[in-house]
Amino acid sequence: MAENTISLVSFVLTLMVFSYLFGDAPLIGGLYRIAVYIFIGMTAAFTLVVSYEGVILPYLQDIQDQSTSWTALGYRADITIMFTALLFALLLLLKPINRLTWLTNSVYAVVIVVGAAVGAVGALNGTLFPLLQATVALPDDLTADFEVLVESLLIFVGTMTGLYYFHYQARARADGNEEQSRVGRGFRHIGKAFLVTTLGAIYASALLTSLTILTERIGFLFQFGA
C-alpha cells in the first residue's frame, strides 16, 4: 500500500474514532461504531491468521518430521498430543447439546487446570519468592548509608501493611457487632496510605501515556490536514 494511501486511511479512521466526542449527533453519530466494528473484524482476522500461522501450522508441520520431537517422550507422543488436541476441539463443538455439556466442560477443565498449575508455580517461583527475598533483604553495610536503611525499612513496612490491608479480621462483641483491634486498624490505615499512593502513581502514569498518544494523534491530524 502506498504511503499516501496509508496516511489517508489512518486520517479517516482516526477522525471516525474521535467522532465519539460528538455523541449521537446527526450524520456523524454512527461513524464511531463503524470504526469499532471495522476494528473488531480486523482484530478477529489477525487473531485467526496468527493462531493458524503461529501455532497450528508449525505443529502440523512438526509432526510430519519423525526426526524431531517436542518432548522427551518421543515422536509418537507428539502424534498423540496432536490427535488429543483435535479430539478436544471436536468436543468443544458439542457445547450446544445440553446432555453432553459435561464433555465440553471436561476439556475446559483440563485447559484451566494446566493454566492454573502454570500460574500457581509461576506465581511462587516468579513473584512470591523473589519479591519476599527483595523485601526482607537488608543493605550490605547497615552503617554506611543511613538513608538506604530507612528506605529499605519503609519499603518493608509498606509491603507488609499493604498486604495486611487486604486481610480483614474482627472480634465479635457481646451486642453482636464486630470490632477491629486498634493495632489492626492502624496497620490497615498505613497500608491504605501506601496503596493509595501507588494507585495515584499508576493513574498518573496511565494518564501521561494516553495524553502522549492523544497529542500524537492530534498532531498527525493537523499534519495530514496541512
> For another protein, how many residues bind (rule: CB under 8 A)?
115
Interface of this chain with another protein, residues 88 to 107, rule: CB under 8 A: 88-89, 92-93, 99, 101-103, 105-107
Interface of this chain with another protein, residues 8 to 47, rule: CB under 8 A: 9-10, 13-14, 17-18, 20-21, 33-47
Report the distance separating Cα 219 and Cα 46, nearest Å: 28
Report the residue from 65, 163, 179, 181 that binds another protein according to the rule CB under 8 A.
163
Report the distance separating Cα 120 and Cα 123, nearest Å: 5
154 binds another protein (CB under 8 A): yes
* DSSP label at residue 137: P
Using an 8 Å Cβ cutoff, are 180 and 170 in contact?
yes
Report the residue from 68, 169, 210, 223 that binds another protein according to the rule CB under 8 A.
210
Per residue, what are the HEC states of 21-32? HHCCCCCCCCHH
Query: Would you tell me how many other CB atoms lie within 10 Å of the CB of residue 35?
Result: 19
Report the residue from 118, 136, 142, 170 that binds another protein according to the rule CB under 8 A.
118
Interface of this chain with another protein, residues 182 to 201, rule: CB under 8 A: 191-201
Helices 3-18, 182-225: crossing angle, 10 deg rounding: 130
> Measuring CA to CA, which residue among 159, 165, 166, 168 is closest to residue 128?
159
Report the residue from 25, 97, 132, 136 that binds another protein according to the rule CB under 8 A.
132
Report the residue from 51, 66, 169, 223 that binds another protein according to the rule CB under 8 A.
51
136 binds another protein (CB under 8 A): no
Pick the closer one to another protein by CB: 170 or 211.
211
C-alpha torsion sign, points 84, 88, 89, 93:
positive
49 binds another protein (CB under 8 A): yes
Pick the closer one to another protein by CB: 92 or 171.
92
